[in-house]
Amino acid sequence: MNRFSNSPRVNLSQLFWLRCLAIMGQLLTITIAQTLLGVHLPIAAMLFVIALEALFNAATFWRANEARTETERELFGQLFVDLGTLSALLFLSGGTTNPFVSLYLPGLAIAAAVLPWTLALILAAFSLCCYGLLAVESIPLNIDEPSNLFDYYRTGAWINFVVSVGLIAWFVARMSRTLRARDAALASAQQQLLRDERVVALGAQAATVAHEMGTPLSTISMLAEELRLAAETDGDLGAYRADLQTLEQQIALCRSALARLQSRAASPDRQEIGRWLDVFARQWRLRHPHVRFEWRTAPALESIYVEDAVAVGQTLTILLDNAARVSRDYVTLTVDAVDASLLLTVEDRGPGIAPPLRAQLGKAPVTSDQGGHGVGLYLASVTAARLSGRIEISQADPHGTRATLTLPARALERAERANSGDALARR
């Protein structure tokens, strides 16, 4: 008879298709009983009930295509109609003497799993009332050979048992799989929440440190400027003129970093990758003047831009700083576009990272043999994930470490076309 969805979260589309199968099964059962088994059924009344069920199923199909989430009460109504249809068909075909009467149980089991206990209890009470009425009032079966009634009942009971076992086993297996997937998703969400809390705490500390750095940085800048001016007239300080100039450049970089930190909260900065990368690479070279640094870009990057240049720059700075810390003679940055992704690869020729430690980097702060704590790479991984990207750490050839930042590529021309379309739409 009627079949119900096997998922812990039943939806109308599932109910529609399963009810279609139920209608075909009902028609097939009536045809076999009437033509092959010699059972005389009230065909007109039973077809009328099935026709009403088909009309209700058509309404369910229309409702399922509205792309709105069904409520628990709506699912309750769907299951209530299914149980009512089963009761009506059983009333016309022998009542409790019909071997398919136990199909109440799979339906109630599914209702108990997918509905609140109050609604499931109402369906259980409704089924009990229907079963009680069928026990005292129903249309008895009219069979040409009454002596075969027991064989028919035994065959029907076997078919009913197979259908019930298959339905319950299928439903329970799917429900267990869904529950395991839900537990895994919940554990992942909890880990993400812990990472976000750590990032918020680190961000608050960074903001505090940046605020505290303002005053001493201004003092250092003023003293460096006075020393540089004094070096122009004082012969003893003249030998340090180049060093003082480098010191002022480093102070300017610190101020620029603080300014970016303040502007980061305002709005993301979208820039074309070619222009942005040139400025970024030159600024990073000033921070590490003693590091041999090279960067290469693919020729087909003119139409690619980064959505949040500040966040990408911060992430890339962490990767380059880590490379420069272990390899002063060789640090490279390669930028390329593959399919719909932008790849920014940083390589060094340092001692490399052990595979067990490499697998932990980016997931949580960890302590390495070189004295690092993994906080920077952890923040970089979180930032990359927020940008819908990822960071992969691997072994470089012949030795060293390769860090690849993968980001979704955006076409500048498409963005300008979309902006033009929005402007025209607002006119």
Domain 269-415: which CATH class? alpha beta
Check residue 342 and give its pLDDT.
86
Q: Please write the tens of the pLDDT for every residue from 191-203.
A: 766 666 666 666 6
DSSP per residue, 187-236? HHHHHHHHHHHHHHHHHHHHHHHHHHHHHHHHHHHHHHHHHHHHHTT-HH
pLDDT of 280 strictly over 80: yes
Check residue 50 and give its pLDDT.
92
Say if CB 92 and CB 47 are below 8 A apart.
no
Distances (CA, A) of 16 to 3, 11, 19, 58, 401: 10, 9, 5, 8, 55
Check residue 327 and give its pLDDT.
86
Distance CA 349, CA 59 (A): 67
Check residue 350 and give its pLDDT.
86
Check residue 132 and give its pLDDT.
92
Q: Please write the tens of the pLDDT for every residue from 75-107.
A: 889 889 999 999 999 999 888 888 888 888 877
Least confident of 244-248, 377-381, 408-412, 413-417: 413-417
DSSP per residue, 238-285? HTTHHHHHHHHHHHHHHHHHHHHHHHHTT----EEHHHHHHHHHHHHH
Check residue 262 and give its pLDDT.
57
Q: What residue spans define the domains of the chain? A: 12-144, 192-261, 269-415
Q: What percent of the chain has pLDDT over 70?
A: 76
Check residue 159 and give its pLDDT.
79
What is the pTM assigned to this prediction?
Answer: 0.47
pLDDT of 1 strictly over 50: no
Residues 241-266 have a mean pLDDT of 71
Q: Which residue has the higher pLDDT, 34 or 236?
A: 34
Structure tokens at 266: 């305002």
pLDDT of 310 strictly over 80: no
User: Cis peptide before 398, with omega less than 30 degrees from 0?
Assistant: yes
Check residue 422 and give its pLDDT.
42
Q: Please write the tens of the pLDDT for every residue from 143-195.
A: 777 666 677 777 778 877 887 777 777 766 766 676 677 777 777 767 766 66
What's the mean pLDDT when you consider all of the chain?
77
pLDDT of 55 strictly over 80: yes
Distances (CA, A) of 19 to 22, 25, 52, 400: 5, 10, 12, 62
170 residue type, one letter:
W
404: left (phi over 0), alpha (psi -120 to 50) or beta: beta
